[in-house]
Every structure is written in structure tokens, then in C-alpha cells.
Amino acid sequence: MKDEYAPALSPDGKKIAFVSNFDPSGNNNVDPDVYLYERGVGQIKQLTDNTADENHPAFSPDGTKIAFFSARNNENGNIY
């Protein structure tokens, strides 16, 4: 099953960061990662690839960076 959620729109409205548990191999127990869709390019780019859950992407005010929450390295969670 593939779920996409937690969309974040860039300040210029041209990019959408979102979270998905997509796995091309068909594995249903995949930890969520952050992806980016850029309007006009029409391509989805995977931004993270970690065994920890990664959620809640947010663009910087100028739209050049994306922050997200992750519980990497057995932590309670941090913003990256």
C-alpha cells in the first residue's frame, strides 16, 4: 500500500514536498521518506532514504531548503 501525506507547498508555489511510504519492490512495511515534486519538471525525487520515519517537511522562507522531522539514530526525534 502506498500513502502520500503531509504536503508542503514552496513559497513560490512551484514545488511540493510530501511524505510517502512508496516502495517499488512492493514491500508494505516501508518507513516513510520525504519526496519532492516540482511543477513543470513532472518528476518526483526522493530526498531521504533512511530506516527511521521521516515526516512533516517544511520549506525555508526562500524555498531553497526543506526541513523535516526524523527519529534517526534511535533518538526521540530531531529536525533536519
Reading the block at residue 55, the C-alpha cell is: 515526516
pLDDT digits (tens, 9 = 90+) for 10-56: 999 999 999 998 776 666 667 899 999 999 888 899 999 888 889 99
Give the global pTM.
0.85
Q: How far apart are CA 23 and CA 73, in angstroms?
A: 22
- Looking at residue 52, what is its pLDDT? 86
User: In the chain, what are the domain boundaries?
Assistant: 4-79
Instruction: Specify the pairing of strand 44-46 against strand 33-38.
Output: antiparallel
Mean pLDDT to the nearest integer, 57-68: 97
Reading the block at residue 32, the C-alpha cell is: 516513510
Q: How far apart are CA 80 and CA 74, in angstroms?
A: 15
- Looking at residue 61, what is its pLDDT? 97
